[in-house]
């Protein structure tokens, strides 16, 4: 998933995948997808706490847009599927 609404900016869309599987409510999921602004709410606080525990940096601008960044995500390796397939059948 790489298309997000105007209220969330991920430096790497894989960050979304790290937190998408949690049991978020519809409002929290809308914030993660960028369809809702990141206002000062308990929903926002719980998402930010979860992300920060995982080393993900979250900042919010005055317009309610969240900027979500994480150093240390490895770059995509186009050869990884090939290596995995070879190791499974050896």
Indicate whether 73 pLDDT > 70: yes
DSSP 3-state helix, strand, coil percentages of the chain (rounded to 5)? 40, 10, 50
- Per-residue pLDDT of 14-67, as tens digits, reads 888 888 888 899 999 999 999 999 988 898 999 999 889 888 999 988 888 999
pTM score of the predicted model: 0.73
- Residue 86, pLDDT score: 60
Residue 17: how many CB atoms within 10 A of its CB? 10
Indicate whether 89 pLDDT > 50: no
Q: Where in the chain are the domains?
A: 8-88
């Amino acid at each position: 998933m790489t298309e997000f609404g105007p209220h969330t900016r991920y430096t790497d869309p894989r960050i979304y995948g790290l937190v998408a599987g949690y049991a978020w409510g519809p409002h929290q999921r809308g914030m993660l997808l960028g369809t809702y602004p990141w206002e000062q709410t308990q929903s926002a606080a719980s998402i930010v706490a979860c992300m920060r525990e995982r080393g993900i940096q979250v900042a919010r601008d005055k317009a309610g847009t969240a900027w979500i960044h994480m150093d240390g995500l490895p770059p995509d390796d186009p050869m990884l599927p090939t290596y995995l397939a070879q190791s499974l059948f050896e």
